[in-house]
């Protein structure tokens, strides 16, 4: 009886083995995956071993160019449920009724460091959400922090270069380079205050906020425009790390946040975020002492209320990291009817840059990859190119055409109309109402005593490694203008003289 049972088990195992025969990429069965074809048992390997050549060639091409920014990331699938009908202010149909459910994919990331870097580094965190709506995909691309370092995309390559390793020493995130750059950009004061607080080291991806950062336009079916800013608020407690806590985690794990997200979902502890928007009209812009589309500014909560839009739940882990997380492509230019970009100078540049980097990484047909495919039918005359997989039939691949069926556009989805003052000119100038320091000071004063202490410790620690004292003087001058206590504490912590700062003020007409 025992022997019969063993024979049956072996037969079952054999049948299961042959149920999934190993094949080449073209589907031909593989006879031997352990031994190359050679001249005799001990001779040279033959070039005609097609399986060997294909296997090695595929292996050689497993890596694609990593993202220039946001290279290290983790992701998950889920759903977004709208709280109400927002069609009065936007045509975006995933917000057209209470309870409407839209599938999503979310990618979290660090920003300035390479793929294998620790997730404990002081760095903004990316928070990108792809909504698979009935009108096509919509990407809400943001960060955990509500503002950014620069306000014009023309500075973006230089900023990233400053964060990158030195071309001489290859030292990553060299404060001498980073602060040299930012000491010449007073607009960075607000973001640096966020970054060197404990918000610069979130405990994990589940327990951090998300922000759209930029202002966008919501447009209704009458063409009326409302400016909005987005914020994701976790239903989980917001949690950050002190530098000491981050250092302790880094000593044992460089991917703690990725593991935390995966394990939480695997254990059915599904993370949730509520989405809020702030809304203003163009006629409200003059009420602020800053430009509302300036990405270095928040819209103060006491001036613009937040309205809950819906709730997102992440409930499914990826089944293949490369295909679903690494190949996920986000761009703030991936929009749907009812949502348009604002005049934000940084956003305007990102509309091109983000999609262009995906074309470089994943070919011009990156939207055809399963993770990036919309759920609705795609009807387009864009055609051909590397890895084109979209079904293309018929003789007409142009528009307009007399032949039937002709693809037509729907005028109700035209872009909104913008009104400009008479005698509008083109120019290359800084925006009106820079107001570089006020909100940084308000942020500092909003922190608890412990948060202030940690900020001063983190920031002065980095400044104390900068060799050029002029750069330190310039940086402290910025923080001093944000708040005198803030500046004085940094003066003391860096052993800097107030007279040096005053000299900088005088030279720069502050």
Cis preceding-peptide flag for 400 (omega within 30 of 0): yes
* Residues near 390 by beta carbon (within 8 Å), at least 6 away in sequence: 365, 368, 378, 380, 383
Of the residues 143, 204, 211, 454, only one is catalytic, namely 143
Each as own residue / partner, the long-range contacts of residues 426-434 (CB below 8 Å, 24 or more positions apart, any chain) are 431/151, 431/291, 431/294, 431/345, 432/291, 433/288, 433/289, 433/290, 433/291, 433/294, 434/186, 434/187, 434/290, 434/294
Specify the DSSP class assigned to residue 224.
-
Q: Contact 91/221 with Cβ under 8 angstroms?
A: yes
Say if CB 61 and CB 53 are below 8 A apart: no
Query: Does the active-site annotation cover 220?
Result: no
Would you say 266 and 123 are in contact if contact means Cβ atoms under 8 Å apart? no
**Residue 250: CB atoms within 10 Å:** 16
CA 19 to chain centre: 42
Distance of CA 278 to CAs 25, 95, 315, Å? 51, 15, 27
| Active-site residue flag, 137 | no
Question: Nearest Cα to 148, choosing from 444, 347, 358, 343?
Answer: 347
Catalytic option among 70, 190, 214, 478: 70
Q: Enter the tokens of residue 106.
A: 């979310």
Catalytic residues: 70, 143
């Amino acid at each position: 009886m025992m022997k019969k049972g063993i024979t049956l088990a072996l037969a079952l195992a054999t049948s299961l083995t042959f149920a999934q025969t190993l094949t080449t990429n073209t589907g031909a069965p593989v006879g031997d995956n352990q031994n190359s074809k050679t001249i005799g048992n001990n001779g040279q390997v033959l070039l005609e071993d097609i399986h060997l050549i294909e296997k090695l060639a595929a292996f050689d091409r497993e890596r694609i160019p990593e993202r220039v920014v946001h290279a290290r990331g983790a992701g998950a699938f889920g759903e977004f449920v709208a709280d109400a009908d927002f069609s009065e202010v936007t045509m975006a149909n995933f917000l057209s009724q209470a309870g409407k459910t839209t599938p999503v994919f979310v990618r979290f990331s660090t920003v300035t460091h390479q793929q294998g870097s620790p997730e404990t580094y002081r760095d903004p965190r990316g928070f990108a959400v792809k909504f698979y709506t009935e009108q096509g995909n919509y990407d809400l691309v943001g960060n955990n922090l509500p503002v950014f370092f620069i306000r014009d995309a023309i500075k973006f390559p230089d900023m990233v270069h400053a964060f990158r390793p030195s071309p001489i020493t290859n030292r990553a995130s060299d404060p001498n380079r980073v602060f040299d750059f930012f000491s010449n950009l007073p607009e960075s004061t607000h973001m640096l205050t966020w970054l060197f607080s404990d918000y610069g080291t979130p405990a994990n991806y589940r327990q951090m906020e998300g922000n759209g950062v930029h202002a966008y336009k919501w447009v209704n079916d009458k063409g009326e425009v409302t400016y909005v800013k987005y914020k994701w608020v976790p239903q989980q407690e917001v949690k950050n790390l002190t530098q000491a806590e981050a250092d302790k985690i880094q000593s044992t794990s460089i991917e703690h946040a990725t593991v935390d997200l995966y394990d939480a979902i695997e254990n059915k502890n599904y993370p949730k975020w509520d989405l809020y928007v702030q809304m203003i009209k163009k006629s409200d812009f003059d009420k602020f002492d800053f430009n509302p589309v300036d990405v270095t500014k928040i819209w103060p909560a006491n001036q613009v209320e937040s309205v809950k839009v819906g709730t997102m739940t992440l409930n499914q882990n990826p089944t293949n990291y490369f295909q679903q997380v690494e190949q996920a492509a986000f761009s703030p230019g991936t929009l749907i009817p009812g949502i348009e970009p604002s005049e934000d100078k940084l956003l305007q540049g990102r509309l091109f840059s983000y999609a262009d980097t995906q074309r470089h990484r994943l070919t011009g047909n990156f939207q055809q990859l399963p993770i990036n495919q919309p759920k609705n039918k795609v009807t387009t005359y864009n055609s051909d190119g590397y890895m084109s997989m979209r079904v293309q039939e018929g003789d007409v691949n142009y528009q307009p055409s007399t032949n039937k069926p002709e693809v037509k556009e729907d005028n109700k989805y035209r872009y909104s109309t913008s009104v400009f003052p008479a005698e509008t000119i083109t120019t290359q100038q800084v925006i009106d109402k820079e107001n570089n320091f006020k909100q940084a000071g308000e942020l500092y004063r909003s922190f608890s005593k412990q948060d202030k202490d940690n900020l001063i410790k983190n920031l002065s620690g980095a400044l104390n490694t900068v060799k050029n004292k002029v750069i330190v003087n310039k940086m402290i001058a910025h923080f001093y203008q944000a708040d005198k206590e803030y500046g004085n504490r940094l003066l003391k912590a860096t052993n800097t003289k107030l007279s040096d700062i005053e000299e900088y003020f005088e030279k720069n007409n502050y």
